[in-house]
Structure 1
C-alpha cells in the first residue's frame, strides 16, 4: 500500500458509508438545497498520514448555532445479512461497519489513524424562520496547536418554502425494560422516567409520533415459558370475589410525558402473545396483600378467567382515554405476526376485543390478507414484501413495516445495506399513500427471545440472530441515546415524503408522480426502484426546485389578483 503523504479530506453526501478498511471511492459532494424547517446532513471524510491525536474539528458558518458535528463510529457485526441476500448490499462479511454517531468532546477531539478513512457527520437543523439564501459551511481540521490540517467548504441553499408537518403515523417499538436493564435502574423509578424522557425526545426529533405503551408487559420476542422484566403501567388489584380494581396513575404520567415531548399517538401493547394469540401477556396484580403474576404463558387466551379480566379492564381503560380526549389517538394490538394456522385463536381474541373497543382501531403486523378479508383486523400492517395483495384490495389507511426477513429487493436498513436503500422508503410511502409505518426495534438490546441483555456497542445482531441494524436504532450513551446513521437517513426519507406532499399541494398528485417516475424503465414499487443514491438525491433536488418554482408562481398569481 502506498503511504498517504498528506492529510486528506472529502465532502460527501449522507448516503455514503465510509469504511475504514477500504479506499474511499465516492465523489466529492459540496452543495445542496434544503427547505426551511428541515434537518440536513452531509459528511466530511478524512484520512491522516499517521496516527494523529487529538485533532480538533470546527465549523464556521452564519448557521453555526444550528449545526452539530459528530464522529461516525464503527460497530461490530458478526451477522451482517441473511444467507440468501440480494445484490443490493455493500458487503456480506463480518467486521466493523459505520453506524453510531458519537458526540465530539471538544477537549478530546478526534483521532486520525494512518491509512484509515473516517468521517465527520454534519447535521444542520434549519429553522422555519431561517432566511432563504445560500450559506457556506466551512469544516476545518486542526492540530492541538492550531495548525490547519485540512478542510472542506459546503454550500447549502436554504429555499423559501417551509417543510409541512408529518402526517405519517410512525412508531419504532420502545422497549422500556431495555432502558432499565442497561442503565441498571429500577423500573419506573425517577431515574427510569428521566431515561424514558430522553429517549422519547430523540425519537420525536426523528419523526416518531406514536409510542408502544406498555399497559402490561409487552409479550414481544419472549421465549415461550420465559418472561421479560415487568414494565406494567397499570396497577391491578384482584378482589376475593374475582373482580378487579385498576389504578392508572403511571399510565397517566406516561401519557403526559409523551404529550409534552411531542408524541401524538399511543399504541397499547398486545393483549395476547406473539405468533399465535394463544396465551395472555404477563400481568401482575396485588392479591391478598401480595403482588404476583396472575396471567402469562400458563393462561389459555380463550379461557373464562382471562376473558373476565378483559371484560372488566377494557371498559375502564377506554373510559379513561375518552375522558382525556384521546379516542382518536389510541390504537390497540391483538397479537404480533399471526400465521394462517393461528386464525382460530386470533378470531376469538379479535371478537372479544372488538366487542369492548368500539371505534378504537386495532392494528397488527401480519402477512396473510385473509385476516383482513374476514374482518378479524381492520388495520392490517403487511410487510413491504407482502403488501401487494393489500394494495390491490385498496385497504384504507394502509400501513406497512419491515424487519429481519425483508431482505430481498425491498427497502430496509441493515448495516450492510446502502443508505439509499434505507431512504427510498419515503418515496414509496408517498406513491402508495401509506398512512403508517411500524418497526419493532427502536432500542431492543436483548438477544433473540430476550434470553439475556446485551451490550449494543459489542453485540449488534441480537446474539447472532438478526442482521445487524434490525434490532435497534439508538445506542445507550452515558448521558442518553447515541444516534445512528440509519436513524438519520430514515428520517431523511420521512422528510422526502413531506416534501413530495408539499409539492402535491402546489401542482397536483399526477404531476408529482410523473416527476418521480421520469426516466424510469418501470413504475416505482416497493420492490422495484433505482438503487443508486444519485437518483434519490437528484429526485429530491428536482422536487425542491419544483416547489420553489410553484410557490413563486402562486405568489405572483396572488399578487396579480390583488
Structure 2
C-alpha cells in the first residue's frame, strides 16, 4: 500500500493549503450526465519533489495546478449596495457567513499543466476534470495514478453515467469584461493581432461557463471628429466577430448615458462627454447622431437581430432623495424612445433595484436582494411574459448567495438553482477580469471601489479568471458556476417533464437566495436524484 499522504474531494467545496493530509482514497464514485465534466481536487504531500500523473480510462481529462490565492478581508453582512462591503478591522470576530477568518489563502486559481505538478511548500495541489468518451454506456471507470519519487498511488474513479444530456444554452448569462486588461495584463498592444488572439482565449473561457452574452462598451475611440460629432465603430468589428465566432449568442451594446460626474444626482449626461446633458438641445442632437451611426454599423454587419442595449447602469440605484428617481425617469424614457426609433425592435436590458421603469426596460436585472425584497412585483412581470434576470456584485453579503472568496464554494453553483426556482431567464455579473489600478490578483483580491460609496469590494468580486501566462486561467468559482448553469438547464428540463419531482428536488436544495442547502454531501445526493428523475 502506498504511503503517499494527501487530500481529495469531488464535492463543491473549497480546499486550503493547510488542509490536513491523510491516506488517499483508493476508490471514488461520481455521478454525471453523459455530456458533463466532473472535477476532483487533490493536495498531495511531496516534499521538494514534483508529482507525476497518469490517467487511464475511456475519458477525456484536463489537469490544472491549483494556485493559492489570498483573501485579505471578510465580507460583512450588508445586504444592499452603498454600504461597507468588507471588514477592515481584523480584531473583530469572523462573520457568521464567512468560511474562515481573514486573512487566509484558498485554492481558487487553476493553471493548465501537463502531467507534472511542481511542489509548493512541500505539497502538490491539482485539479483533474473527467468526461466520459461518447458511447461509453452507463458506467465508466478511470485510474488516476500519482507518483512521487518511488511511491505510487492509484485512485480508481467509478462514474455512473446517466443517459441524460445537458441541453444547449437557454439560460442567458453575461459576465462583463475589460478589453484593455486583456492587453495590459498579458503585455500585448491594444488592438494588435496578439491582443485579438488573447480576446479569443478569454471568449473561450466565457463559453466554458456557458456564457451567452458579451458586453461591448463603446468608448472615445469611436469619435472621429468631436467638433461635428462624427462616429466610426469599425474598430469594434474584429472584436465582436471573435465573440460570435466562439459561439456567444448576443451582443450587449452601450452605454448611451452616464450619471457622472454626480453619481447620486438626477442628470443623465452623454456617455462620451459627461459634461453634456442629454436633456439639452445639443445633447439630444449628439445622442441622435450617435444612435444613427450605431444603426448603420449594425446594419452593415447584419447584427441588428443579435444585439440588446444598455442605456445607463442601475438607473434607480444610488439616489440623493426620493424625487431623483422621478426626474431620472423622464430622461431615461426619452433616451429609450430615441433608441427604439433608430434601432427598430431592439431590447433594453438594465440592472435595476425596482420594477419602476416600466415601459423603458425590456429585460429586468434586479440584484438578488432586490428581487427577494420585491418578489411579487418582479413575478408579475414574469407572469406577463417579460424577461427578468438576476445579478450579484459587491453585494449582497451575509447569508445571500454570492461568489466571494470567503463564501462557501457551493454558493456559486446554487445561484443558478435560484434562476430555475424563480423562473429567471438570465444571470449577470459585472466582473470577469475587472482588475483595477494595477492590482495583482495573485497577491490581492479585494478590488478598489472607485464609486466613493463604501469600502473596497469583497475579495474575488471583480474577477473570476486570472491573467495567466499567455492566457486566462480559470477558477474554481468559474467551474462551480459552469456546473450550476448546467444544473439549471437540467432542472428546467425536469420541470417540463415531471413537476412533482421538480418541486421535491428544488424545495430541498433552494428555498431562497438566503436559505439553501449548503451541505455538500447532501447536495450530491439531490444532484443524483435530479439525474435519476430525468432518466
Report the counterpart of residue 365 of structure 2 in structure 1.
381
Q: For 1:136-535, what aligned pairs fall within 5 Å after superposition?
A: 136-143=141-148, 147-214=150-217, 216-217=218-219, 232=221, 234-238=222-226, 242=228, 244-273=229-258, 275=263, 278=267, 280=269, 283=272, 295=273, 297-322=274-299, 324-338=301-315, 339=317, 340=319, 341=321, 342-343=324-325, 344-357=327-340, 358-372=344-358, 375-388=359-372, 390-393=374-377, 394-395=380-381, 396-446=386-436, 452-463=437-448, 465-505=456-496, 507-517=497-507, 524-535=511-522
Report the counterpart of residue 551 of structure 1 in structure 2.
none
Q: What's the offset of the Cα at 1:279?
A: 5.1
1:168–1:213: structure 2 CA closer, same or farther, 3 Å change rule? Answer: same
Q: What's the offset of the Cα at 1:254?
A: 2.4
- SS of the aligned residue for 1:539 comes to helix
Report the counterpart of residue 35 of structure 2 in structure 1.
37
Which piece of structure 1 moves more, 469-478 or 308-317?
308-317
Report the counterpart of residue 109 of structure 2 in structure 1.
100
- SS of the aligned residue for 1:208 comes to coil
What do the CA deviations read for 1:177-224 (whole angstroms, capped 9, x no partner)? Answer: 22222223332122221111111111112111111112x23xxxxxxx
1:20–1:503: structure 2 CA closer, same or farther, 3 Å change rule? Answer: same
What do the CA deviations read for 1:249-269 (whole angstroms, capped 9, x no partner)? Answer: 223322321111111111113
Q: What's the offset of the Cα at 1:392?
A: 1.0
Q: Is the 8 A contact 2:74 2:95 kept in 1?
A: no
1:86–1:424: structure 2 CA closer, same or farther, 3 Å change rule? Answer: farther
Q: Is the 8 A contact 1:33 1:156 kept in 2?
A: yes
What do the CA deviations read for 1:469-509 (whole angstroms, capped 9, x no partner)? Answer: 1010111111100110000011110011111123234x233
TM-score (norm 1): 0.81
Structure 1 unaligned blocks of 5 or more:
218-229, 284-294, 447-451, 549-562
Which piece of structure 1 moves more, 245-254 or 172-181?
245-254
- Partner of residue 132 from structure 1, selected from 116, 134, 137: 137
The answer to whether the aligner puts 1:69 opposite 2:63 as a matched pair is yes
- Partner of residue 58 from structure 1, selected from 51, 54, 58: 54
What do the CA deviations read for 1:373-430 (whole angstroms, capped 9, x no partner)? Answer: xx34332211111103553122221011001121122211111111111111121111
1:542–1:308: structure 2 CA closer, same or farther, 3 Å change rule? Answer: same
Measured on the aligned residues, the alpha-carbon RMSD in Å equals 2.7
- SS of the aligned residue for 1:385 comes to helix
Which piece of structure 1 moves more, 96-105 or 354-363?
354-363
In 2, the alpha carbon distance for the partners of 1:36 and 1:321 equals 39
- SS of the aligned residue for 2:163 comes to strand
- SS of the aligned residue for 1:56 comes to strand
Q: Is the 8 A contact 2:4 2:24 kept in 1?
A: no
Report the counterpart of residue 7 of structure 1 in structure 2.
4
